[in-house]
Structure 1
Amino acid sequence: MTLTPRALGHRTAAALTLLCALTATAQAPTAHAAPDPRPASLDDVRRQLDDLYHQAEAATEKYNAADEKATAQQNEVVALNSRVKAAEQKEVRLKSLLGSAARAQYRSGGLPAEVQLAFASDPGHALDNAASALQVQRGTQRELTALERVREELRTRTDEASAELTDLKASRRAMARNRDKIKARIAAAHALESQLQTPQLRRLAELEQQAQTEAQAKWVGTGILDKVGTRASKAGRKAIEYATEQLGKPYVWGAEGPDSFDCSGLTSQAWLHAGIAVPRTSEEQWARLKHVPISQMRPGDLIIYFSDASHVAIYIGDGKIIQAPRPGRWVYVSPAGSMGILGVVRPDA
């Protein structure tokens, strides 16, 4: 069915109004402002979609961080439980040793049978052995006392770690619920985008490209490319090579290859294949890797974007990055200055 221009205009306006309403509901739960009922322009929709996808990526990175922390804590609890078990087993062996020595002394009138035998043939040697046996028993008792103290400390640490794990799992579930809500809204946004006709979709893509070009031109206009490095380290080249091999693969939440990636999944895997393990999420990459001034960055460095460190890409030189951008897109080369840069980190500093 072919729509008349007037019908097309009504359909587009309705879709854009609904998209505005969905975008408004994707804000923080404490926001209660009613959505603006006025139809939005395509440029407004582009900005709203960008904001929606940014919220989704931020929620995903927070979920990934919560999941990583919970997994690490689970491993810590398992390790502590293993140490407690080993301490308990050693405690049993030491108590058994002390018990055996005590029983032997009781049966032989205070000294083990082998000491009594030695006393009969060589009194001096027997006395030496008796003193040695007493020293061994006292040393064993001291070791047992220390071991009991260590075991109690380990149990305390295990209890504390288990309590922290419970909290981390609760945080992970909360992050998952938040992420799922945003995923549902993005699915609705995709459905609304599908209501737009080809000219509107083409115009949206043009507006996005225009915004990126303007942002890049402004960034380059500062003269930054005259200052940054142009040569990657050996590991940096390997990381770039890996990222380049992933071009065209789809963005998928929580994915770290080999068939799909999210933003930090791509950068963490790129550097892992270069022989250097980096944190899994963009927030942790920003928090734990060495910061370098933007003017001193070089190919292979990671550029962290937005004030909440919710996006990351790998710089490949000439003002360009390779990134896994957002749902519905693929790993691709894009302008480094097309988004708000928070800073730069160097995995192989």
Structure 2
Amino acid sequence: MTATVASHRKPRQHPLAALFGLGPRSSRAVRLAATLALAGAATATALDGTGQAAPQPTPAQVKDRIDALYQEAEVATQNYNGAKEAADTAREELSRLQDEAARRSRKLNAARAELGAMAASRYRSGGVAPAVQLLLSADPQRYLDGAAVLERAGSHQAAAVAGYARRLGSVRQVRRQAEDTTRRLAAAETRLKRHRVTVVRKLDAAEQLLSRLTAEQRRLMASQGPAEDASDTGHEDRRTGHGDGLLGGIPAGSTATAAAGAVTQAPNSRAAQAVSFAYAALGKPYVWGATGPSAYDCSGLTQAAWKSSGVALPRTTYTQINSGPRINRSQLAPGDLVFFYSGVSHVGLYIGDGKMIHAPHPGAPVRIAPIDQMPFAGATRPA
């Protein structure tokens, strides 16, 4: 009874079905009507101006995003540098192991030939028993003398066999090392490609953001950046060898006095030479992965500067920070390495008065900048 009554209940009608004069069971029509109604409402909102488009970012916001992209690219660049260093090391080691394997193989082949000659001789003389050879010999004493020689030859043969076994083992060991090195090289090259893709992607994103800005927006963005040192002028001329020029490895003109002062204040002659080198590099372009002499990235510049004084620094910021004793910020001296960001992804060379010379990012050549324009992470004095 209950089921019979329920079956004659009047189906509920969707409000939109009633609004559009549709039947109670026209579910597809109801959905269509709802879609049309919502679309119409959205169109009306857009036409009457009540809908709001997403606000355009301010130049300051664009600058912050570009700076973040450059910093992310710097992290990837240091990872790339580390992978490249590992690949180069593995490649050199593999070449050395291949040369060593070839040298040992030549010795192994010579030992094998010697054993072959001994075996053939032994076979030819071993066809008659020694007692029979003595009976048949016309000169027993001569035979006995010859037997002693053969015994000594047997001892020599045993030594030759042992030597051959050792050489065979050494060749196999070198070949195993070469195989391991080949695997390490392949892994390093895989990382190298991955980090290269990341760097290029980050830099492309930054360039795209810059390309959307008008000249006025670029000017406003630049005005909101950290103030550059006033002496950081004329770099384009120094890059081409004109304008201020170079004097004894130190730029002449507006920076000559500052350079001479920084060199004088350096704690030792090696640091003084590194500072001199960094001043001479002012204006050279930033190129990620570059170590000079025509372009640098941040760690490539500091590595080259200290290399000029005979000190070999590792390639990346992560390893350069461990290249000497840590220095408190209050005790910084010209030539010290100053590091930035929590991940230690950027480095500059301190020149005194709260300033450094560094390679910032693409589009920004090697320049002088205050060390407080980025989050300070630590300092090291190379030794």
Shift of 1:154: 2.0
Please state how far the C-alpha of 1:171 moved relative to its aligned partner. Answer: 1.4
Structure 1 residues 45 and 291, CA gap change in structure 2 (3 angstroms): farther
Query: Using the alignment, how far apart are the partners of 1:273 and 1:60 within structure 2?
Result: 23
1:59 aligns with 2:76: yes
Query: How many angstroms apart in 2 are the aligned matches of 1:205 and 1:184?
Result: 19
Aligned partners of 2:341 and 2:374 also within 8 Å: yes
Question: Contact 2:60–2:224 at 8 Å: present in 1 too?
Answer: yes
Specify every segment of 5 or more residues in structure 2 that has no aligned partner in the other structure, as ranges: 1-52, 128-139, 230-263
Instruction: Tell me the residue number matched to 1:232.
Output: 267
Among candidates 60, 81, 86, match of residue 98 of structure 2:
81
Do the aligned partners of residues 71 and 95 (structure 1) sit closer, same or farther apart at CA in structure 2, a change above 3 Å counting?
Answer: same
- The answer to whether structure 1 residue 331 and structure 2 residue 366 are counterparts is yes
Q: What's 1:218 paired with?
A: none
Aligned to 2:191: 171
Letter of the structure 2 residue corresponding to residue 91 of structure 1: L
- Aligned residue number for residue 85 of structure 2: 68
Distance 2:117 2:101 in 1: 24
Give the equivalent residue in structure 1 for 2:66: 49
Structure 1 equivalent of residue 44 of structure 2: none
Determine the structure 1 residue equivalent to 2:135.
none
- Write the distance in 2 (CA, Å) between the matches of 1:94 and 1:141: 8
> Which deviations, in whole Å up to 9, do the C-alpha atoms of 1:197-237 show, x marking residues without a partner?
1xx4333223212599xxxxxxxxxxxxxxxx953221111
Say if 1:257 and 1:266, in contact at 8 Å, map to a contact too: yes
CA 328–321 in structure 1, closer or farther in 2 if over 3 Å, else same: same
Asked whether the 8 Å contact 1:299–1:316 carries over to 2, the reply is yes
1:222-261 matches, within 5 Å, as 230-261=265-296
How many aligned residue pairs are there? 285
Q: Is the 8 A contact 2:340 2:374 kept in 1?
A: yes
In structure 1, the partner of 2:224 is 207
| 1: CA distance, partners of 2:157 / 2:331 | 65
Shift in Å, 1:38: 3.0
Contact 2:275–2:335 under 8 Å retained in 1: yes
Residues 251 and 331, structure 1, Cα contact 8 Å, conserved in 2 = yes
Say yes or no: does 1:298 pair with 2:333. Answer: yes
Instruction: Please give the alpha-carbon distance, in whole angstroms, between the structure 2 residues aligned to 1:246 and 1:300.
Output: 14
Displacement of 1:109 after TM fit? 5.5
Whole-Å Cα distance in 1 between the matches of residues 168 and 362 of structure 2?
Answer: 54
Partner of 1:267: 302
Structure 2 Cα separation of the partners of residues 262 and 151 of structure 1: 42
Relative to the length of structure 1, the TM-score reads: 0.72
Q: Give, as a single letter, the amino acid of the residue that structure 2 aligns with 1:237.
A: A
Secondary structure of the corresponding residue to residue 277 of structure 1 = coil
Return the offset for 1:335: 1.3
Change (3 A) 1:250 1:335: same
Contact 1:230 1:318 survives alignment (8 Å): no
Structure 1 residue runs without a partner (length 5+): 1-35, 111-118, 213-228
- Residues of 2 paired with 1:150 and 1:171: CA distance? 32
% of aligned pairs identical?
30
User: For 1:42 and 1:191, how far apart are their aligned partners in 2?
Assistant: 13
Q: Is 1:160 aligned to 2:177, yes or no?
A: no
Q: Could you say which residue in structure 1 is the equivalent of 2:55? A: 38
After TM superposition, give the deviation of residue 127 of structure 1 in Å. 7.5
Amino acid at match of 1:136: H
Give the secondary structure class of the aligned counterpart of 2:351: strand
Opposite residue 53 of structure 1, the aligned amino acid is Y
Q: CA RMSD in A?
A: 3.0
Identify which of structures 1 and 2 has the higher relative contact order when contacts are C-alpha pairs closer than 8 Å and 6+ apart.
1
Shift of 1:289: 1.6
Shift of 1:308: 1.6
User: What amino acid is aligned across from residue 236 of structure 1 in structure 2?
Assistant: A
Moved segments of 4+, more than 6 Å: 119-124
What is aligned with 1:186?
206
Query: Helix, strand or coil for the counterpart of 1:290?
Result: coil
Measure, in 1, the Cα distance between the counterparts of 2:187 and 2:122.
53
Q: For the structure 1 residues 85 and 37, does the alpha-carbon distance in structure 2 shift closer, same or farther, using more than 3 Å as the test?
A: farther
CA distance in 2, matches of 1:82, 1:259: 34
1:209 aligns to what SS in structure 2?
coil
Secondary structure of the residue aligned to 1:342 is: strand
Cα contact 1:233–1:300 (8 A) shared by 2: no
Alignment of 1:110-125 (within 5 A): none
Alpha-carbon distance in structure 1 between the residues aligned to 2:96 and 2:284: 37
**CA shift in 2, pair 1:135/1:244, >3 Å:** farther
Tell me which residue corresponds to 1:150.
170
In structure 2, relative to structure 1, the CA distance for the partners of 1:95 and 1:38 (3 Å cut) is same
CA drift at 1:151 = 2.0
Match of 1:116 in 2: none
Aligned to 2:356: 321
Distance 1:209 1:108, change over 3 A: same
Cα distance, 1:57 vs. partner?
A: 1.7
